[in-house]
Structure 1
Amino acid sequence: MKNKVIIRREILQKRDALSDCERTKKSELICQRLMTDKRFIAAETILVYMPIKSEVSTIRLIEKAWTLNKRVGLPKIQGDEMNFYECRDFSELSLGAFNILEPKTEVLIEPSHALLIMPGVVFDQHKHRIGYGKGFYDRYLKNHPNLETIALAFDCQIIDYFEAEAHDIAPNFILTESHTI
């Protein structure tokens, strides 16, 4: 069985190989599917990532959440910890850890009734997730075990199976352009 490093590299190559046009079109489909999902509709607070590189874009999703008067939290990395801070407009962002846009605000969001929308590199049919290898989402979810989570991914990021580790925390659902796991 391949290890996580090899699987991550192979799937990143596949995801990176999507053209900008394909990525935009598929991201739109994924976000449209999420915006009609009962969990998104019911959520008053959305905790969501800012997309980097070839990830599923969440920009339209964030804009829609603001339009619906949902509270939006974006991640901020401080040392080994990740927390979500309120963001009301893209102008409230600045480059943070790993050159990812983060909220400038210090309004911490307590996630008790929020929906967490998370990225990932690889997922399998059992909802296991491989991220970028730093463990930020696993640690955050360990501290917030009752948080409802949906991961966004392109179909090319889904494989049949890989060996998950004890500290890996799977999302409740994975949403792609064609199906939900």
Structure 2
Amino acid sequence: MFSIDDEMAGLRVAKQELRGLMRQRLSNLSEESLLRQSNAATHALLSMPEYQNASRVGIYLSMPKGEICTGAIVRDAFAHHKQVFVPYLYKAPIRDQEKPQSVMDMVSLHSSSDWKDLNRDAWGIPTVAKSSIIGRQRVLGDDESDNETKKLDIIIMPGVAFDSGLSRLGHGKGFYDYFMQRYHTSKGGSMPLLVGLALDMQLLPEPQKVPIDTSDWQLDALVVGDSTFIRR
């Protein structure tokens, strides 16, 4: 008989195996394909009424390789006077063995120039400096109990793999899933529209499914670089 611990261990192995498979696939992705798919996914996302009507947009800032580029979306959001929020990683203020030590918030960018001036981290991702946080809006912040007015309309999310049922596999740190759990609690159950961006090779063919557990949040929509669009 399998225990819950055995089941969780098997799930972790399945996730790691899928991440390894995706890393291998993405290693063969050409710059031309990345550019073409990023343009197609961006065009599809910008046509979504929910994006067009959004005032407060959360969005990942992309790595140079291996995922849909989001630069054109950031530029469009500022051009249409939207407030743009991007991931910020920091040490959790209260240490708890049951919770991750490093957590994610989303913080505001002031302008397109502010975005362009961000330094890149070890993965080549434009990253907000800790020294600038005091001058930015934070969606959650250290005090997550009084954030009713700090809602987002949409969050545009990265991932390693996706399936047609709108399940998402992240990089394994749990930053987005834990952020969304805290967001859900602090906003009284309200959630923004969760939209994933995927390269065509990141969407698993039917009937394959992303291995998930109860802590993994599902998407509301998925935009793929081959122009596939999936939503609830």
Separation of aligned partners in 2, 1:51 and 1:180: 20
Q: CA deviation at 1:12?
A: 2.2
Identical pairs, percent: 23
TM-score by length of 2: 0.72
Post-superposition CA distance 1:38-88 (Å, at most 9, x none): 111010011111101311000011011111111111111112111111111
Correspondence for 1:72 among 74, 84, 108: 84
Separation of aligned partners in 2, 1:92 and 1:155: 31
Which structure 2 residues correspond to residues 126-145 of structure 1 after superposition, within 5 A? 126-145=165-184
Separation of aligned partners in 1, 2:44 and 2:170: 22
Counterpart for residue 51 of structure 2: 40
Q: Secondary structure at the match of 2:88?
A: strand
Counterpart for residue 98 of structure 2: none
Unaligned 5+ segments in structure 1 are none
Q: 1:23 to 1:97 in 2, by over 3 A?
A: closer
Amino acid in the other structure paired with 1:78: Y
State whether residues 86 and 103 of structure 1, in contact with CA within 8 Å, keep that contact through their aligned partners in structure 2. no
Q: 1:27 to 1:99 in 2, by over 3 A?
A: closer
Counterpart for residue 180 of structure 1: 229
State whether residues 86 and 108 of structure 2, in contact with CA within 8 Å, keep that contact through their aligned partners in structure 1. yes
Greater Rg by CA: 2
Superposed CA RMSD:
1.9
Amino acid in the other structure paired with 2:199: F
Separation of aligned partners in 2, 1:128 and 1:91: 32
Unaligned 5+ segments in structure 2 are 1-9, 92-101, 140-149, 185-190
Structure showing the higher strand proportion among its residues? 1
Which structure 2 residues correspond to residues 1-181 of structure 1 after superposition, within 5 A? 3-52=14-63, 53-79=65-91, 80-87=102-109, 88-89=111-112, 90-96=115-121, 100-104=125-129, 105-106=132-133, 107-110=136-139, 111-145=150-184, 146-159=191-204, 160-177=208-225, 178-181=227-230
Instruction: Give the count of matched residue pairs.
Output: 181
Q: CA deviation at 1:98?
A: 5.5
